[in-house]
Amino acid sequence: MGKKLLTIMLALVVVLAGCVKTKSDVSGEKDSGDTKGSGGSGKVTIELLGTSAGEDDMNIVRDQLIKNGFDVKLNIQPDYGSFKAQRDAGNFDIALSSWTTVTGNPDYAVRSLFKSDGDNSDINDSEVDALIEKASTETPDEYKETYKQLEQRIVGEKAYIAPLYISFKAQGVNKDVLNPDTVRLAKSRAIAWETIDFNDASKRDTDALITQQAIGSLTSLDPIKGNDGSINTLNTNMYVRLVNLTDDDQVVSDGSLSYNYAIGDGNSDYYFLLRDDINFAAVADGKAVDTGERVGADDVVFSLNRAKNKDAVPDHRTYSLHESIKDVEIVTDIAELQDAKQSGVEGSVLEALELGLETDITELVGEKTAADSNAGKYQVIKVTTNEPFPQVLNYLAHQSAGIVSKKQVGSINTYDVAAFDVNKDIPYGDQRTVTEGATYKNHLYASGPYILVQKNDYQADFAKNPAYRADSEFEPKISNVTVRFIEDSDSALSALRNGEIHLFNGVPETKYELVENDDKLVLQKNDSNAVTYLLFNAVDREVAKNENLRKAVLYSINQDEFRNFYHGNKKKAYSTVSPLVETGNELIADPAKVKEYIAE
């Protein structure tokens, strides 16, 4: 899930008249009983939002809250657009939410969600801010205690969230069509398509790999403008990054734009030796073509500078992931690499960057067209952070750090950001430009292994970048990929079993046996960084603003009941940090505390 921001809070307000309530209807402006009680019952009414896919979880939460003295309204919404209208109106007390740390580092698990200026945060707590910043500068041995304190503040002391469980990650593969050994299932990062291959290699150019995702309305194909389930996998496969994550969350150069990377002494300078064998792809006449433009250092500088600049684009959704970056520059003096020492080990940065190269570095060049690794001429990028921050490498592996074309994006984004008009201005990556019909005018430049050719309401079609790592192990095996939009997980599983799709990433825990018992399928399973929790509406609802009532909800939650329902295929959680750092914190349901907090 990447890893992907995944915060899903969907709601359909269930009312007797069958219509959607307005904000005044449910906020208490028409009936204060919605907040303080329910029709004279004396009980506190909680309005719980969730998606239809999460109805089982909602029912468990509802039963636990009712048992502890609450009245509960369930609000189930079938699509994101309707949810967003409800959420913007503030029509909820608590929402069924989830978060997957797709970068594999604990800072990502908290910064966006809980920091006062986080792009997904409604929390304003200076103590939380200070603990997040402190942990970000520490090594894993040091930050364990800091994250423990942070968790205790977020959950035990303030009850900003109520954790439910950690999920496993599972996908079903049609082993009659695909070679399962070529299909990766990483703990954090989105699935990589370039390694996947058919059992019959002769079908690589004639047949498409068919996979699926739930969301068909794409936030943006500009990697910095989205961080959700609609684009995480798509942008991960469309844009190359300086580094990647292994399936167990180790930062590596494999399959990235760099041959090697090195951390300078002091943990503030990060060096990357760039490859010279990747060109941008474009779409012409419905096919992927080589633009002839190399992906180089100027594109990296441009991409990371806009990634860290909140005002680079309207509705920038990932800037908080890259705010640790102070400078991005091209290094042209080889003496700097010779003089710079590596962090924590003997040797220079130059030695680290040359490790395993066929030709050593003899010259550093500023222009990407002058780079020639066979002749020892390379480009080097240095990223400098505001404070020592080794976790910056995990953020550079995230899809939002994907490298875009400086020339192409600059030629498209000619609008005034401050005066941006969504009805008139068409920004780079707007899904309208790839949607079949009158709006189609594909302007994408992809630096990764695939490029989106076109989409409609039912699917998106991708083609192999012909200039991505040609003749190497990372050249994409299958030429075409189709992503079907199937929102319902049961429908997706049915499509997999019927052979309509070859790969279903996200098999529900309650359906594992169906996959395992199907002769033509194989179930791949791994730990994940996905945490499901209840998020309080601390902005618009008095119930959620009241710390005692939040704690009453918190201590109503019995995580064992979720684990039993899912046949043991869930783990206990305390916060979004739980899958990444063993803090020892644990939530234990306590009805006595619930009564105490409600009384207060």
Higher-pLDDT residue of 90 and 102 is: 102
Nearest to 260 by CA among 348, 326, 346: 348
Classify residue 533 as exposed, middle or buried by CB count within 10 Å of its CB (0-12, 13-18, 19+).
buried
pLDDT score at 317: 87
66 and 138 in a single domain? The answer is yes
Q: What single string gives the DSSP state of each residue in 329-372?
A: EEE--HHHHHHPBBSSSSSBHHHHHHTT-SS---EE-SSGGG-B
pLDDT band at 431 (very low <50, low <70, confident <90, very high): very high
Q: Determine the structural domain holding residue 305 and report its residue range.
A: 241-417
Whole-structure pTM value: 0.84
Query: Range with the lowest mean pLDDT among 89-103, 276-290, 498-512?
Result: 89-103
For the segment 458-470, the average pLDDT, to the nearest whole number, is: 98
328 and 436 in a single domain? The answer is no
Grouping H, G, I as helix, E, B as strand and the rest as coil, residue 505 is strand
pLDDT band at 7 (very low <50, low <70, confident <90, very high): very low
pLDDT score at 41: 64
Task: Check pLDDT > 50 for residue 8.
Answer: no
pLDDT band at 430 (very low <50, low <70, confident <90, very high): very high
Task: Check pLDDT > 70 for residue 155.
Answer: yes
Nearest to 4 by CA among 216, 320, 236: 236
Position 443 in a domain:
yes
Task: Check pLDDT > 60 for residue 20.
Answer: no
314 and 369 in a single domain? The answer is yes
518 and 570 in a single domain? The answer is no
Write out pLDDT tens, residues 112-154.
899 998 878 889 999 999 999 999 988 888 899 999 999 999 9
399 and 536 in a single domain? The answer is no
Task: Check pLDDT > 60 for residue 9.
Answer: no
Grouping H, G, I as helix, E, B as strand and the rest as coil, residue 133 is helix
Q: Given 527, 547, 579, which residue is the final one in a domain? A: 527
Q: How far apart are the first and last CA of the chain?
A: 39
pLDDT band at 467 (very low <50, low <70, confident <90, very high): very high
Could you tell me the two tokens for 514? 């169906």
- Which CATH number belongs to the domain containing residue 396 in this structure? 3.90.76.10
pLDDT score at 44: 92
pLDDT band at 538 (very low <50, low <70, confident <90, very high): confident
Q: Given 527, 555, 586, which residue is the final one in a domain? A: 527
- Which CATH number belongs to the domain containing residue 136 in this structure? 3.10.105
Higher-pLDDT residue of 87 and 73 is: 73
Write out pLDDT tens, residues 357-385.
999 999 999 999 999 999 999 999 999 99
Q: Given 527, 544, 565, which residue is the final one in a domain? A: 527
93 and 196 in a single domain? The answer is no
Beta pairing class for 325-331 and 380-385:
antiparallel
pLDDT band at 5 (very low <50, low <70, confident <90, very high): very low
Task: Check pLDDT > 70 for residue 21.
Answer: no
Report the sign of the C-alpha dihedral through residues 296, 297, 298, 299, in that order.
Answer: positive
Could you tell me the two tokens for 105? 């580092």
| CA–centroid distance for 335 within its chain | 38
Task: Check pLDDT > 60 for residue 282.
Answer: yes
Residue environment code for 227-245, b if the CB has 16+ CB neighbours within 10 A, otherwise e: bbbbbbbbbbbbbbbbbbb
- Which CATH number belongs to the domain containing residue 482 in this structure? 3.40.190.10
Beta pairing class for 459-464 and 480-485:
antiparallel
Number of domains composing the chain: 3
217 and 334 in a single domain? The answer is no
Task: Work out the mean pLDDT of the chain and round it to a whole number.
Answer: 91
Q: What is the Cα–Cα distance from 132 to 79, expressed in whole angstroms?
A: 33
Position 422 in a domain:
no
Position 10 in a domain:
no
409 and 473 in a single domain? The answer is no
Write out pLDDT tens, residues 184-210.
999 988 999 999 999 999 999 999 999
For the segment 306-327, the average pLDDT, to the nearest whole number, is: 93
pLDDT score at 80: 63
For the segment 155-180, the average pLDDT, to the nearest whole number, is: 97
The CA distances from residue 102 to 94, 236, 395, 461, in Å, are 24, 11, 9, 24
Write out pLDDT tens, residues 471-496.
999 999 999 999 999 988 999 999 99
343 and 409 in a single domain? The answer is yes
Q: How do the residues of the chain divide into helix, strand and coil, expressed in percent and rounded to 5?
A: 30, 25, 45
Higher-pLDDT residue of 172 and 508 is: 172
Q: What is the Cα–Cα distance from 472 to 195, expressed in whole angstroms?
A: 11
Percent of the chain with pLDDT over 90: 81
Task: Check pLDDT > 90 for residue 79.
Answer: no
pLDDT band at 12 (very low <50, low <70, confident <90, very high): very low
